[in-house]
Amino acid sequence: MKTVACIIQPGFAPFEFGIACEVFGLDRSDDGVPNFDFRVVAADPGEVPSKLGFTVGGVGDLSFAYQADVLVLCPFPKEQWGSVDPRILDVVRDADRRGAWIISECSGVFALAEAGVLDGRRATTHWMYAHVLADRYPAVTVDPDVLFVHDGRIITSAGTAAGIDACLSLLRIELGAELTNRVARRMVVPPQRDGGQAQFIDRPIPVVAEASLSSLANWAVEHLGEDLSVERLSAHAHMSPRTFARRFKAEHGVTPAVWLTRQRVIQAQRMLERTDASIDQIAAECGFGSAAVLRQNFARIVGTSPTAYRATFSCVTESLA
């Protein structure tokens, strides 16, 4: 891996562009890290305007991208998602055919999907756009909960800072952990973050207003620490357990058990952020019964442990016991 082409388009996102420049473009030979021949290219070379109005000058044409070992696609505006420049699509397809590494940051994934190189593959993007990607490109398996996805030699990253994780993951593969750690230290970032972007998604505790089971859902959220079996829930809704389970899934899209687990994890997130309660206390108050059950479900849904989540998001200023 010696050559890196960073593709930008009018309206590109400066932060993600800066990530590519920082990881691949700086001279870190004094730390023993090999230099890359890093070039910024575009379909229309010269000056390319960013989404913030300033321009980047001296941008090369796409010819270098056809021979680069790594192709990095920066995010671009929504209005371009369905009409990616055909010249860029051609470069992406060529890179895929010859086995070059391809990295998309955030919405740059839409260019890969439009080029067809993600068909039958897993990918991710910013959690706000994951449903759009999945709807437009059903042949792509979209994972909205992770920071980045490796599938073959294609790496797709989630929103904004997740581009750092994706780029460092490629360095780890190509250069090894020791050199990657040196780069990460220079960037003052962890060489590998725990968890996925699910932990950054704001999931407010729902207040359902119109569905026929709205009062039941609101009541259940207020009693998460109690035994909420289907039998008890159905009795509260004045239905048979079978009818209740069928109606609930029709209205909420999941079974009562799956829905309750998600609400309990959401409540656990709130308690981890806002209280100094122990993990055992949180598990009991949220209805998990034990800390082990809480940890298992929390890791599966949020992508990290309760302790790591608290360390990142706690609003409590006092030191925790």
Per-residue confidence (pLDDT) for residue 191, from 0 to 100: 81
CA gap 187, 137 in Å, rounded:
35
CATH code: domain 3-195 is 3.40.50.880
**Four-point Cα dihedral 163, 165, 167, 171, nearest 10:** 180
Q: Is 0.75 surpassed by the pTM of this model? A: yes
CA gap 264, 96 in Å, rounded:
43
**Four-point Cα dihedral 104, 107, 109, 113, nearest 10:** -160
Average pLDDT, the chain: 91
Two structure tokens written together for 113: 């999907």
Q: How many other C-beta atoms lie within 10 A of the C-beta of residue 244?
A: 21
Q: Averaged over 84-99, what is the pLDDT?
A: 98
SS3 141: strand
**Nearest CA to 95 among 64, 139, 121?**
64
Q: Averaged over 80-96, what is the pLDDT?
A: 96
Which residues of the chain form CATH 3.40.50.880?
A: 3-195
Radius of gyration of the chain (CA): 23
Which residues of the chain form CATH 1.10.10.60?
A: 214-313
- Each residue of 2-12: pLDDT tens digit? 999 999 999 99
Per-residue confidence (pLDDT) for residue 285, from 0 to 100: 95
Residue 206's pLDDT band (cuts 50, 70, 90): low
Distances (CA, A) of 221 to 77, 101, 206, 319: 38, 46, 8, 29
CATH 3.40.50.300 for domain 214-313, yes or no, is: no
- Indicate whether 214 pLDDT > 80: no
